[in-house]
């Protein structure tokens, strides 16, 4: 039985193919430049060479058709025909306050996505197009929407409301929604396993740091607060997003520079953040290199981003009353950049968060779940690679079977203490063969087979 997961952006369509019976990823890939000339697909099948093909995709229907054609190709494919696909999971940015969990996509759900698309104008229209396109190509299987905002629906009103006229909330749904929810759900459940704790009794601070970044305060296994707001613009300094700022700044510059609201929105989302500070970089690797070579604005960007992360960690520790079971880093930067993890935690020793430099420097693999704090750190620090696609896959399967429920009443496979991610365990074995010392920082209760085979 095959579960297909799709993540459609405005000009891309990412996918993953999962064999439910073998619990294994068969292929991942992406179609780039959808709706533009010069589209192409990058296909990475398990056990076969990567495949790239240029083919124009004027719309998302053409992109989905190209994906399915590639998946069933005799040479590059991973399935005999489309009939093996039994469900499709779709990533959706925003469900407003209408959904607390993933849902089967019907006309009612699509209507809700249409209603809230102004809350995510860069993402939701593309999400809708992807769903409509996939339903057209695969009309006889259930299509499931997995929303980034659903995880955060447990936040109390005093955390999700803004101090603006209350009627804005009533009329226009103005409130904090939060994002990266699928990632936070996976990481929170895995953290409970590594800690050996009941997930409903686990308090965490999870830092999802990528080009888009946010922090989630988890209390008793549920989202209690988060840094992103009504849109993904609020909170941390990101690759191209400004994050927290005085809202009057936008009005001031609009008057001075004669900018429209549309221009300002685009600037704050696409030309600000690290790119705005450095003037040329939004990739942390480029910024780190430039900072080491003496570029002052790159140094400033690193310091500004790091300070903002530390502020959120400290404030969420206070929100938890000091009772925090772990601080966790995940997503591309959080998983791979020891340089920034060190800067993100500098000076937090006084509140019980102490990084181990050697462990931190070793932790740069998506295959392992690592502990990178010192033995005397009151709050352990983990690096847990996220797996949003697995959450989407399991949600889609459970919805298809009629066994799905909100995450507090539903158990995922990766919550089991004996769960093993086969691909990552194999990768970890290779990593350990190259560097046996890596075993010292692999978290307790992580992929045991990989450790046992290395010895």
Catalytic residue ranges = 148
Pairing state between β 85-92 and 51-54: unpaired
Phi, psi (degrees; rounded to nearest 5) at 147: -100, 135
Write out the two tokens for 276.
């705005």
How many other C-beta atoms are found inside a 10 Å radius of the C-beta of residue 216?
A: 30
Q: What is the dihedral of CA 354, 357, 362, 368, to 10 degrees?
A: 0
| Helices and strands in the chain: count of H runs, count of E runs | 17, 14
Q: In what order do the strands lie in the sheet with 2-8?
A: 51-54, 40-45, 24-32, 12-19, 2-8, 85-92, 143-147, 103-104
Pairing state between β 370-371 and 381-383: antiparallel
Phi, psi (degrees; rounded to nearest 5) at 342: -65, -45
Alpha carbons 192 and 204: distance in angstroms, whole number? 9
Cβ atoms of residues 67 and 41 within 8 Å: yes
Task: Find, among 262, 240, 92, the residue nearest to 177 by Cα.
Answer: 92
Alpha carbons 358 and 201: distance in angstroms, whole number? 31
What residues does 91 pair with on adjacent strands? Answer: 146
Alpha carbons 447 and 455: distance in angstroms, whole number? 13
What residues does 375 pair with on adjacent strands? Answer: none
Taken in order 259, 262, 265, 267, the sign of the CA dihedral is: negative
Alpha carbons 77 and 4: distance in angstroms, whole number? 14
Alpha carbons 104 and 102: distance in angstroms, whole number? 7
């Amino acid at each position: 039985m095959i579960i297909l997961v799709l993540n459609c952006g405005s000009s891309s369509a990412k996918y993953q193919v999962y064999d439910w019976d073998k619990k294994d990823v068969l292929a991942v890939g992406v179609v780039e430049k959808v709706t533009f000339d010069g589209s192409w697909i990058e296909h990475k099948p398990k056990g076969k060479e990567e495949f790239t093909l240029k083919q124009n995709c004027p719309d998302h229907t053409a992109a989905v058709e190209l994906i399915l054609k590639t998946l069933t190709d005799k040479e590059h494919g991973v399935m005999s025909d489309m009939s093996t696909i039994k469900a499709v999971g779709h990533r959706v940015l925003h469900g407003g306050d209408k959904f607390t969990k993933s849902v089967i996509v019907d006309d009612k759900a699509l209507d809700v996505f249409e209603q809230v698309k102004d809350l995510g104008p860069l993402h939701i229209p593309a999400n809708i197009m992807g769903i409509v396109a996939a339903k057209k190509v695969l009309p006889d299987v259930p299509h499931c929407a997995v929303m980034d905002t659903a995880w955060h629906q447990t936040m109390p009103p005093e955390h999700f409301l803004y101090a603006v006229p209350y009627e804005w909330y009533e009329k226009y749904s103005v409130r904090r929604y939060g994002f990266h929810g699928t990632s936070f759900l996976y990481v929170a459940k895995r953290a409970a396993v590594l800690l050996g704790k009941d997930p409903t009794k686990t308090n965490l601070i999870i830092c999802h740091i990528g080009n888009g970044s946010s922090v989630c305060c988890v209390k008793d296994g549920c989202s209690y607060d988060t840094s992103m707001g009504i849109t993904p613009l609020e909170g941390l300094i990101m690759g191209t997003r400004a994050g927290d700022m005085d809202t009057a700044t936008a009005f001031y510059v609009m008057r001075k520079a004669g900018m429209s609201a549309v221009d300002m929105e685009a600037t704050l989302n696409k030309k600000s953040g690290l790119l705005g500070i450095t003037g040329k970089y939004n990739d942390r690797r480029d910024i780190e290199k430039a900072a080491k070579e003496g570029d002052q604005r790159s140094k400033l960007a690193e310091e500004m981003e790091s300070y903002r992360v530390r502020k959120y960690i400290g404030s969420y520790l206070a929100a938890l009353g000091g009772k925090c079971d772990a601080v966790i880093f995940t997503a591309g930067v959080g998983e791979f950049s020891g340089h920034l993890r060190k800067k993100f935690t500098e000076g937090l020793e006084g509140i019980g968060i102490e990084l181990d430099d050697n462990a931190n420097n070793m932790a740069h693999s998506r295959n392992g779940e690592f502990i990178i704090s010192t033995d005397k750190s009151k709050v352990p620090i983990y690096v847990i690679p996220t797996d949003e696609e697995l959450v989407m896959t399991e949600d889609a399967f459970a919805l298809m079977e009629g066994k799905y429920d909100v995450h507090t009443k539903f158990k995922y496979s990766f919550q089991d203490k004996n769960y093993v991610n086969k691909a990552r365990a194999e990768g970890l074995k290779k990593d350990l063969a190259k560097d046996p010392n890596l075993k010292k920082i692999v978290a307790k209760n992580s992929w045991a087979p990989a450790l046992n085979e290395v010895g």
